[in-house]
Structure 1
């Protein structure tokens, strides 16, 4: 297809070059273009390019995830059609609802069919039907039963098979003797073995679904303990309502445990068939297709008739999610539903970190931006025509949130996951971009540690060796309540990082203004590019400084050939006032949002010139750090949670820090943090190194960070 018609949603730019294998939902038809070809059907404006070669079957066959996401998408579409408020959209349940959970926990038709037909399948595997196949085998002469013309031809051509040469001929040592061999590699037996393999895969996936649902309850219990220990100022009413819905459904946990036991027993019975004589007696790689051939055994033999019925039930399970509108419409519905699901998660994350809707705005695709108030500043959220949600502050893009409905970690293998992660960075984005893709905890845990860190890196917690591309990836799932918290943690960093990374704030000095007064003001000093505000001044100190600054005004003097500097002096004082407000804003708690009653006491200046603040309401402690590698500033938020020297990956941060984190901590020392810019840990050159810092990619990150700092300087 014409690649110029497509937009790369990750980079936000038109596609350059030919579109080959593509991730599901990565490309969309540009609104200003006409149409483009996707397979046999032309794309319409705003439709997704869904490449069959790049699509994962699990994104469509995972019943719980698909139905939950599509249900959320239908609710969002209904509310946006009637111009619902942000509060109504934020109240949408972002997890699996009761109907979907009960449907997933109930016994499926294929499972009932397995229980019914499994005895006959077991009989076929351990007492298979076979045929005798004639073969010629080279055997010693005493073991030969009879000879054939092939025996004589072989003996005449191979003297190594002679025992001795006689005057009238030869005395043979080995001869080719016809025998009959039992052959199990029949079409019907191949069907039975292929069915055993597919049923084992199905039961394994079903057990993973049940474990995910069961894991929600342990996550909810952990989250209730975490939230209940926080001060009341941090508690979210919507979050409590969300947790209350699960507490009321305690029978889900019991039913999930029971179904898990039943499925484990059923899978064990199927696994036993993988050790049967038939398992190693047939070609398991043979292509069988989807439709069974009507053979005598599959129709007339009772055992194989049951195998054929089980095959048909398995095929019905594979194709039941294909809608009547066809494969293309199914892909479009999945992409749009996932987009709506991400919008709901983002609204929940705003609520989790303390964002408040500024008015009764309506969030809808392609509509005007909605307004938020966050920590005393104005933030806008826009849902673009390309399905990307953009967060802006002061007309500057803070973060682009890209819903990517492609399960990047579905293969659970290192090479395929790295290949798909590389496809995201074909055109690196210029603006900060966060990709949200569907993925479960079990998938990530099976990946190598280095790949797992790349597949789950949020703003503030980059992977080792990360380059300067502002691109992060976060897995989300309607089966994990931590999806809200991990998105909120990344959102908190991008919103707080500009406010907490500018100390000390610079004040430019205009021409014609003397700076002799600076030495008489204790909270001002000379910096590299002008004045800097070193601490929060008291009211009387501000009044005294204002008098000193305004005293630098002078009138026009023709004799001295100089003009008035009143405008420059007044501008200087305005800049000083702005820097003072920014310094006072450092004392606003990034955890609970409380403003300090005594900013001059809350702000402490460390010996290295950076600040340290504490909150009297929630007990939070935050400060500024300077990276030793790239020399850039970044904020940190201390926590009482412990760190694990084994692996402090994204899931660990979810469990132990929730949203109460800015920069990620070191895996060994909780007081040391990882630079969000160059991804180098502050303990990388220390004696107690962990698996993260000892990797070769960490050294590459240090070199890149040093080059970037020198370039920026």
Structure 2
């Protein structure tokens, strides 16, 4: 039930606002990292409210009134044959005199009529009280439709929890297994509503809406004016005062009016607060996702609006996390900006006119890279899009261009989605850009290409792996004679510090040795968890791309949602879809979208 202007689902709006208020009250990155960002306690929303129960209990009275309403006699005029006319009003004689086509003949100066305007009495139900009953059916139907959508969306969210619980029993990386277990446990601990209770209430509301729709063929709904403007506060007429059925309909109308007024005010307040709340929500989600990658805040620095900077420590070094104007999160390593996380309150997957969506996509294309754009889209809306558009708004793997990820409290996998996008920019892109690090020496090296470096110029070397003390001493004999440190020593130390990024396992964060490969690529295999990561070279486009393959991983690349469920954050470039090769032995290039096994491997080009 997204808006044609791109406003997100009302349930997302209210959930984000509620979570943002909790985050502001806690106010520091440590508590944000531990907060539950899944939909808050759903018991209030899933329970049937006063109006819901009133609708169910008063359906019999409303149906009886629509079937057997009070009516009034009214006079109607119609053109009939003269032999069946019962009463001809004066206006009928005047009409006969002016319409000669209705004359049968003129005999001896007298008109013998063929058709005349006859008057008859009819039952009239189109008056104030019945208009109230008819419009009440319409308005209660709208209310039930909103509630049904809300409960259905919540049920889908709990179904995600159930699917994640089942995923705990499937073959996957044990590190991701631990993350998923903790994520599900945190969400379940704050969610008191059960799927059974939601489905029970959903069935009751669906049954009530079906009975309301059955009233559309009743006399009141067919004859009463359902478009006439009625005041919210009813006039106390004789029927509403003295007739039992109409008195109960009036009471039900007043219940609806009170509920509608309260919801309208709450909805207006939530809509005005949502842009800021969603920025806070995405900000907290970025911290949670960075924790998945091993980066946690060094202290509980209060987060107070803009210009807040937090230092994150991780197994591969330190990062700087900061908030700028507009809620844009910037992540940097030293003086180098790694990525910007940009929240937008527009639901990019909403059912909007295509020119509107085209304008949104054009703005995304013009966003400077590297960047991650987070938007509050729902899976049901994405499923209604064309495959190409769905791939654009929730891609199966990242590559060139801005990373676009749907983030909202109703889908538990939002944390893994954000972590996957951050892994691509914080780790994957750095693998390809920063390996091998190069060092400018003050003088040509004493050795030619060694096992841990190669010449990249007359006084420049590219470091392929961390050298031993003996290997480094062979490059610069001054280190053995304990001479004062030189500028070359500082340059080497700076370059070798980058190997902390290459050597650290992306999954379990332990240090391992880098194995240099040809064409400036590398590969590592974790001795603890068996994860393989590194870089490869694409044959068709000759560009380097990053890889990550946790042991025991089975990836479903059908769409972005299935990738969330099966791989989560633990993927960089996508593996080849060929079922006849060893898993993780061949990959599809994220830049040109080609695979070495095409066209027979099953991989699709972009």
- Does TM-score exceed 0.5, indicating one fold? yes
What's the offset of the Cα at 1:372?
0.6
What's the offset of the Cα at 1:142?
6.3
What's the offset of the Cα at 1:117?
1.8
What's the offset of the Cα at 1:423?
8.7
SS at match of 1:595: coil
CA distance in 2, matches of 1:230, 1:376: 24
CA distance in 1, matches of 2:97, 2:386: 59
Contact 2:282 2:407 in 1 (8 A): no
CA distance in 1, matches of 2:597, 2:114: 74
Match of 2:56 in 1: 115
Match of 1:16 in 2: none
The answer to whether residue 187 in structure 2 is matched with residue 255 in structure 1 is no
Per-residue CA shift, 1:91-125, capped at 9, x if unaligned?
Answer: 2222344xx32222322011111022211221233
Match of 1:9 in 2: none
Contact 1:533 1:579 in 2 (8 A): no
Greater relative CO (CA pairs within 8 A, separation 6+): 2
What's the offset of the Cα at 1:316?
2.0
What's the offset of the Cα at 1:223?
3.1
Contact 1:126 1:276 in 2 (8 A): yes
Determine which of 355, 374, 383 is the counterpart of 1:445: 383
Cα distance change, pair 473–589 in 1 and its aligned pair in 2 (3 A):
same
Match of 2:568 in 1: 658
Determine which of 266, 276, 284 is the counterpart of 2:208: 266
Cα distance change, pair 599–263 in 1 and its aligned pair in 2 (3 A):
same
Trace 1:407-418 onto structure 2 (pairs within 5 A). Answer: 407=347, 409=349, 412-415=350-353, 418=356
CA distance in 2, matches of 1:438, 1:181: 55
Task: Give the structure-2-normalised TM-score.
Answer: 0.77
Structure 1, unpaired ranges of 5+: 1-23, 25-51, 551-569, 699-713
What's the offset of the Cα at 1:474?
1.9
What's the offset of the Cα at 1:308?
2.7
The answer to whether residue 35 in structure 2 is matched with residue 95 in structure 1 is no
Cα distance change, pair 234–658 in 1 and its aligned pair in 2 (3 A):
closer
Match of 2:483 in 1: none
Contact 2:87 2:120 in 1 (8 A): no
Cα distance change, pair 392–535 in 1 and its aligned pair in 2 (3 A):
closer
Contact 1:190 1:283 in 2 (8 A): yes
Match of 2:525 in 1: 614
CA distance in 2, matches of 1:185, 1:424: 52
What's the offset of the Cα at 1:369?
0.8
Cα distance change, pair 282–426 in 1 and its aligned pair in 2 (3 A):
farther
SS at match of 2:327: coil
What's the offset of the Cα at 1:422?
1.8
Cα distance change, pair 275–137 in 1 and its aligned pair in 2 (3 A):
closer
CA distance in 1, matches of 2:538, 2:103: 83
Per-residue CA shift, 1:479-525, capped at 9, x if unaligned?
Answer: 33222222222222221123222275363767x9669964x546655
Contact 1:504 1:532 in 2 (8 A): no
SS at match of 2:306: coil
SS at match of 2:42: helix
Contact 1:457 1:474 in 2 (8 A): no
The answer to whether residue 535 in structure 2 is matched with residue 624 in structure 1 is yes
Per-residue CA shift, 1:165-186, capped at 9, x if unaligned?
Answer: 9998999877665566666555
CA distance in 2, matches of 1:78, 1:175: 80
CA distance in 2, matches of 1:151, 1:405: 65
CA distance in 2, matches of 1:378, 1:544: 29
CA distance in 2, matches of 1:177, 1:529: 112
CA distance in 1, matches of 2:75, 2:137: 29
Task: Give the structure-1-normalised TM-score.
Answer: 0.67
Match of 1:567 in 2: none
Contact 2:405 2:417 in 1 (8 A): no
CA distance in 1, matches of 2:217, 2:549: 54
SS at match of 2:407: strand
Determine which of 289, 305, 318 is the counterpart of 2:247: 305
Match of 2:547 in 1: 636
RMSD of the alignment, in Å? 5.0
Cα distance change, pair 221–614 in 1 and its aligned pair in 2 (3 A):
farther
SS at match of 1:362: coil
Cα distance change, pair 321–271 in 1 and its aligned pair in 2 (3 A):
closer
Match of 1:345 in 2: 285
Match of 2:96 in 1: 152
Per-residue CA shift, 1:38-81, capped at 9, x if unaligned?
Answer: xxxxxxxxxxxxxx99695953xx3x862x4444333333333x
What's the offset of the Cα at 1:231?
6.1
What's the offset of the Cα at 1:648?
0.7
Contact 1:414 1:447 in 2 (8 A): no
SS at match of 1:363: coil
What's the offset of the Cα at 1:626?
5.3
Match of 1:494 in 2: 425
Trace 1:370-389 onto structure 2 (pairs within 5 A). Answer: 370-384=310-324, 386-389=326-329
CA distance in 2, matches of 1:315, 1:692: 54
Contact 1:200 1:267 in 2 (8 A): yes
Match of 1:44 in 2: none
Cα distance change, pair 151–453 in 1 and its aligned pair in 2 (3 A):
farther
Match of 1:480 in 2: 411
Match of 1:320 in 2: 262
Per-residue CA shift, 1:297-340, capped at 9, x if unaligned?
Answer: 545543333333222222222232466xx998655544444444
- Per mean C-alpha deviation after superposition, the further-off stretch among 500-509 and 352-361 is 500-509
Structure 2, unpaired ranges of 5+: 480-485
CA distance in 1, matches of 2:267, 2:203: 35
How many corresponding residue pairs? 592
Trace 1:175-324 onto structure 2 (pairs within 5 A). Answer: 186-224=127-165, 226=167, 240=182, 243=185, 246=188, 252-281=194-223, 284=226, 287-288=229-230, 290-293=232-235, 297-321=239-263
Cα distance change, pair 494–282 in 1 and its aligned pair in 2 (3 A):
farther
CA distance in 1, matches of 2:215, 2:386: 31
Cα distance change, pair 643–587 in 1 and its aligned pair in 2 (3 A):
same
SS at match of 2:45: helix
Per-residue CA shift, 1:684-703, capped at 9, x if unaligned?
Answer: 9955799986xxxx5xxxxx
Contact 2:16 2:408 in 1 (8 A): no
Per-residue CA shift, 1:646-698, capped at 9, x if unaligned?
Answer: x413x22222222212245688889776765x6x63369955799986xxxx5
Contact 2:55 2:252 in 1 (8 A): yes
Cα distance change, pair 533–251 in 1 and its aligned pair in 2 (3 A):
same
SS at match of 1:202: helix
The answer to whether residue 593 in structure 2 is matched with residue 681 in structure 1 is yes
CA distance in 1, matches of 2:364, 2:514: 47
CA distance in 1, matches of 2:286, 2:22: 16
What's the offset of the Cα at 1:371?
0.6
SS at match of 1:260: helix
